[in-house]
Amino acid sequence: MQNYLSNAFLAAAIAIVVSIIMGPIMIPFLKRLKVGQSIREEGPKGHYAKAGTPTMGGIIIITAVMLASFIMAGTSTEALAAVLLMLAFGSVGFWDDYIKVVLKRSLGLRAREKLGLQLLIAFLFGLLLILYFKRGTAILIPFTGHAVDLGWWYLPFIVFVVVSTANAVNLTDGLDGLASGVSFFVSLALAVICVMTGHYSLSVFCGALAGACLGFLVFNRHPARVFMGDTGSMALGGAVAAVAALTRSEIALIIIGGVYVIETLSVILQVISYQTTRKRIFRMAPLHHHYELKGWPETRVVRYFWGLSFVFMLLGIWSFWGVG
């Protein structure tokens, strides 16, 4: 175990270094490609200054995680499975970004196309878990130490978890450093759970994921020099969901990724309220925009959500203590 813990820390260090090295290379390259971020007209006025900031920076995160994982986790099949799901969802995000910022089709992939690809990838991953990894179909219940066997209901369940997690991270990615900072804390929590449940090689992947998020923050913190785009947010969502599935901590992910959940619920509630009453609950959704429109500086909103994510990280680890 001690060896894997050392490898996890080294993986984090490698991912940080790779991200920091790649930033000055990728950012000018993305600028030359003119893959600048477009800003929603109905969004906070302060965001207009962000127009043209290069996006698709998630390539930095994906590359850093892959290199660090392969160097430190070696031939671990679990780490490879997590990398593959991250890469698959990152590819969907990359395609969406490419259509929007390179081909100049503002809507990117059609909703049904994006969702169809996500469902297919998640379904294949679920089959891989059950048939190849012999993971079984039980999920662990936080705070109880008990497991519930879903049987073949596990397959639609894990498809829902993977797809909803990827899209929740995507919704969270709306302010400089928000999604990368929150995902850093989520990755740390999952790394601890991997150690608690004996998935030591997977903790190396989580270390790489945390390091990549931290390294990316060097360029993504306010004022951001690059955005991760759907390329990065989808990849992070796939990576987080993969680890949760492999460690049977899918339910605990609701707690660990509490910020993701809050951001997603704010959008759902806003849509339901407007469709049924023509009134909005929040000034704008996702929730981070609500606080911006209330007059909070962007940096304050991000720090607030980082702090909340830190609390959820501790609560999630506590909820899983002794469960594995």
Q: Which amino acid is at 130?
A: I
Is 170 among the annotated ligand-binding positions?
yes
Rounded distance, CA 40 to CA 248, Å?
38
**What are the angstrom distances between the C-alpha of 47 and each of 34, 222, 271?**
18, 12, 23
Rounded distance, CA 143 to CA 140, Å?
9
Write out the two tokens for 255.
């707690």
Is 230 among the annotated ligand-binding positions?
yes
Helices 298-320 and 258-277, interaxial angle, to 10°? 120
Those residues whose C-beta lies under 8 Å from the C-beta of residue 318, and which sit 6 or more positions away, are none
* DSSP H helical ranges for the chain: 2-32, 58-73, 77-97, 111-127, 154-172, 178-196, 200-220, 229-246, 252-256, 258-277, 287-293, 298-320
Rounded distance, CA 45 to CA 51, Å?
11
Q: Which residues are annotated as a binding site for Mg(2+)?
A: 170, 230
Q: Which residues are annotated as a binding site?
A: 170, 230
